[in-house]
A = this chain, B = another copy of it.
Amino acid sequence: MNKIKLTVLLVTFNAGLFSFTTLAADSTVLPSWNDSESRQNIIAFVDKVTDQSGPDYVPPAERIAVFDNDGTLWSEKPVYFQLLFAIDRVKALASGHPEWKTKQPFKAVLEDDMDALANSGEKGLLELVMTSHAGNTTDEFSRIVTDWLASARHPTTGKRYTGMVYQPMLELLDYLRSKGFKTYIVSGGGIEFMRPWVEAVYGVPPEQVIGSSIRTTFELRDGEPVLTRLPEINFIDDKAGKPVGINQHIGRRPIAAFGNSDGDLQMLQWTAAGEGRRLMAIVRHTDEKREWAYDRDSHVGKLDKALDHATANGWTVIDMKKDWRAIYPQVAQ
């Protein structure tokens, strides 16, 4: 072997070692993500706000990251999974309500007539949710949700609903927490519908869940204190309600926010308007094979204005098809 050959070999070897090291370090972080711009933006942001000697440093107590749930952490098609829960719940209660056979929106539910259900409008859907979610105690409702999730299956994938959470987002939640972030869910969905399962599935404890709610009232039932769930709206945690809900629950402004639809726009704007470095990101549903593809014209998860804002303001857009190596966890939860 001559000197030149040896030098070439050593250089190649070193270069190989170097790139191996780089790859190994990277691949432990967000492994289900391709090394896309969105992944790089996330990692660069986290590096900056956790660098104690840098100008963008944020102390751990202020590292608040908020995540929408439907369409951001788990799927939302054909409709929000909570509506499928409400439908199943009405069916389960139907034997005690013979009048539902002729009364909308219940008739539509019992006849599996989704067009008629859609035609019952917001008022009909609200009645459906109230009937299926109220009239029990907080403890009872928690058990009902837990039981439903243990047995129900998605109509087209056949998976459990908790198996339709996004693997790359699970990794993102873990990654942020490993860097001292407190991760919150901020969802238009029901706060009490999420709390029974999100700790096991997302690692988010119940006290870090913000959502829509119905009113509860404290009462003594046979001397036992209970919180009874009333058929009245308490708070709608959607659109302009999201910053309100965040302020009410957290009292700090997030430094990172993840959403997927126009319902998340104000939460992203509220996050963006704070001082210092921020991360605003939108999950785009672009994968018609592995998940669903929809945006501006979708009834559920419509992404229109928020996409324009993202483009105009340089927010991060996560393209499911291009950026994610996997969609759902390999072992269904």
Chain A residues at the B interface, C-beta cutoff of 8 Å: 61, 138, 182, 191-192, 195, 199, 205-207, 209, 213, 216-220, 224-225, 227, 234, 240-241, 243-244, 247-252, 266, 269-270, 272-273
Kindly list chain B residues whose C-beta atoms are within 8 Å of the C-beta of A240: 217-219
Q: Which residue of B lies closest to A196 (CB)?
A: B251
CB pair A206–B243 under 8 Å, yes or no, is: no
**A251 and B217 in contact, given A243-B227, A273-B224 (Cβ under 8 angstroms):** no
A84 smallest CB distance to B (angstroms): 23
A248 touches B217 (CB 8 A): no
Instruction: Name A225's contact: one of B61, B192, B195, B269 (CB within 8 Å).
Output: B269
Q: Which residues of B contact A272 (CB under 8 A)?
A: 225
A195–B252 Cα gap in the complex (Å)?
9
Q: Is the CB of B138 within 8 A of A249?
A: no
Q: Is A138 touching B218 in the complex (CB atoms < 8 A)?
A: no
Q: Closest CB-CB distance, A173 to chain B, in whole Å?
A: 16
New A-B pairs, 18, CB < 8 Å, besides A217-B240, A227-B270: A182-B207, A206-B250, A206-B251, A206-B252, A207-B249, A216-B244, A216-B247, A217-B244, A218-B240, A218-B243, A218-B266, A218-B270, A225-B243, A225-B269, A225-B270, A225-B272, A227-B244, A249-B249
A211–B122 CA distance with the chains assembled, in angstroms: 32
14 examples of A-B residue contacts, CB within 8 angstroms: A191-B251, A192-B251, A195-B251, A209-B251, A213-B248, A216-B248, A217-B240, A217-B244, A218-B270, A225-B266, A225-B269, A225-B273, A227-B243, A227-B244
Shortest distance in angstroms between A200's beta carbon and chain B's nearest beta carbon? 12
Q: How far is A205 from B208 in the complex, measured between Cα atoms in Å?
A: 13
Residues B206 and A138 in contact, CB atoms below 8 Å apart: no
Alpha-carbon gap, A247 to B234, bound state (A): 13
Contact A207 B250 (CB under 8 A): yes
Write out the residue numbers on chain B whose beta carbons fall within 8 Å of the beta carbon of A251: 191-192, 195, 206-207, 209
Closest to A138 in B: B247
Q: Which residues of B contact A182 (CB under 8 A)?
A: 207
